[in-house]
Chains A and B, each alone.
Chain A
């Protein structure tokens, strides 16, 4: 029960404490203490009526005690006083005059994803501060030694404090750019999780939902949540017995209809807001792709719009795939051959597939071998080897 409360309230409580104390490190310590006290008291005394407010007030009191104690200590350092534990006065938190705690998670997110921090630091901080993941969990998820992750986090917290990175929602003139940075971090977390580390995918989706709740009229936020939900809804069908399964061959009974419906609803909301940004377009494509009879010309047109917006050759590659699916493998091959993505394994596996359809097996085999050279993941490698053997 405590775990669930922790997951549910950590972000809000920490955000409120950072806002109040103006110091990330102090706020994290205070939040941790507040949750520890809750873990001890709540099972004994029962849950307070307003758990997050209780936690915030407890955390504030703890932090203020620390600050006071440090000042006292500094003043009496020669006396070596050993201050006695200060009893918290939090039992009246549930009284009617208890403060209402504003939701400052948005401020916290913009602070964690500030462009003055390196991307890895943005990601780690966001998972720690909003997701409540422990340093060890984050280190494990990113295959980094716990000590290294601890240093990364503490350097980032330190920079926020010393460089004066604001704890605020950016003004309108900065909002589009800063929101794009936040969305990029959330999507990056999702993609890390999509490769099998499910906790990260779930974390990204719940971060996206928090953002959507706090910024309900931003089409790109809705678009990103839609995109993640539509992909995530097919998570269990992507692998069968450790083997990669292509979308067309997936067992649809393994899809999560609730997730997919949520994705579609978010997409509708994004389109109603006249969203035409990169996440909305990607979500629209993902929604079309899982129709029983996908409208490939429409998908190709959306990829074209996305390519114009992002200038990404990977998007062009996807457009080529859609054009092939629409019945034009030769046209698709011409697009693929014009791309300079030689180090990208999917370029070669896509070329191979197109050459196979065009009945040019020798060239297809060469392309499959090149894709195999560049692909590190075992399930993907086995998939390519099977395709090569089937030629």
Chain B
């Protein structure tokens, strides 16, 4: 089954890290991406670069920033192809954001 691991980082979590810690976290993200079961993923630019679009009455309204102010920001995702949810949970638990105040949401993909 294919699962998306949606990574939510605690706001400012990365800035709070030392250079060495940030490099270690980066290496862990790279290692997860190099897993044979990893079939996709991306890291997003910082939320300060976000633009939100809503269409109302046929007009596109564009605003700066994310739709809602939250303590956790969506930072990126992986897609893994593994046997079952338990494998996906084990991979999610290895995501550095999950242990530094953030969380990982596991969502199975719709299979066509």
Contact = CB atoms under 8 A, between A and B. Distances in A.
B108 A166 contact: no
A163 B86 contact: no
Interface string B1-19: 1010000000000000000
Interface string A87-126: 0000000000000000000000000001010000000000
Interface in A174-228: 174
Contacts of B89: 116
A170 B84 CA distance: 12
Nearest to A170: B86
Contacts of B88: 164
A163 B108 contact: yes
Contacts of B1: 164
B83 interface: yes
A108 to B, nearest CB: 15
A166 B88 CA distance: 11
Contacts of A166: 83-86
A109 to B, nearest CB: 15
Interface in A151-180: 162-166, 168, 170, 174
Interface residues of A, number: 10
A165 B108 contact: no
A162 B108 contact: yes
A186 B84 CA distance: 25
A162 B85 CA distance: 10
Nearest to B3: A164
Contacts of A168: 84
B82 to A, nearest CB: 8
Interface in B66-93: 83-86, 88-89
Contacts of A163: 85, 106, 108
Contacts of B108: 162-164
Contacts of A165: 84-85
A211 B106 CA distance: 30
Contacts of A116: 85, 89
Contacts of A114: 85
Nearest to A171: B86
A165 B85 CA distance: 5
Contacts of A174: 86
Nearest to B111: A162
Nearest to B88: A164
Nearest to B106: A163
Contacts of A170: 86
Q: Which of B3, B84, B106 has the most CB of A within 10 A?
A: B84
Interface string A65-85: 000000000000000000000
B13 to A, nearest CB: 25
A116 B89 CA distance: 9
A116 to B, nearest CB: 6
A20 B89 CA distance: 25
A1 to B, nearest CB: 39
A164 B89 CA distance: 11
A343 B40 CA distance: 50
Contacts of A162: 108
A170 B89 CA distance: 13
B110 to A, nearest CB: 9
Interface in A267-303: none
B84 to A, nearest CB: 4
B5 to A, nearest CB: 13
Interface string A132-164: 000000000000000000000000000000111
B27 to A, nearest CB: 24
A162 B1 CA distance: 9
Contacts of B3: 164
A168 B83 CA distance: 12
A162 B111 CA distance: 10
Nearest to B2: A164
A168 B85 CA distance: 11
A163 B1 CA distance: 9
Q: Which of B1, B85, B88, B89 has the most CB of A within 10 A?
A: B85
A96 to B, nearest CB: 36
Nearest to A166: B84
5 contacts: A114-B85, A163-B106, A165-B85, A166-B85, A174-B86
Interface of B: 1, 3, 83-86, 88-89, 106, 108
Given A116-B85, A164-B108, 4 more contacts: A164-B1, A164-B88, A165-B84, A174-B86
The 10 lowest CB-CB distance pairs between A and B, nearest first, are A166-B84, A164-B1, A164-B84, A164-B85, A165-B85, A163-B108, A163-B85, A166-B86, A162-B108, A116-B85
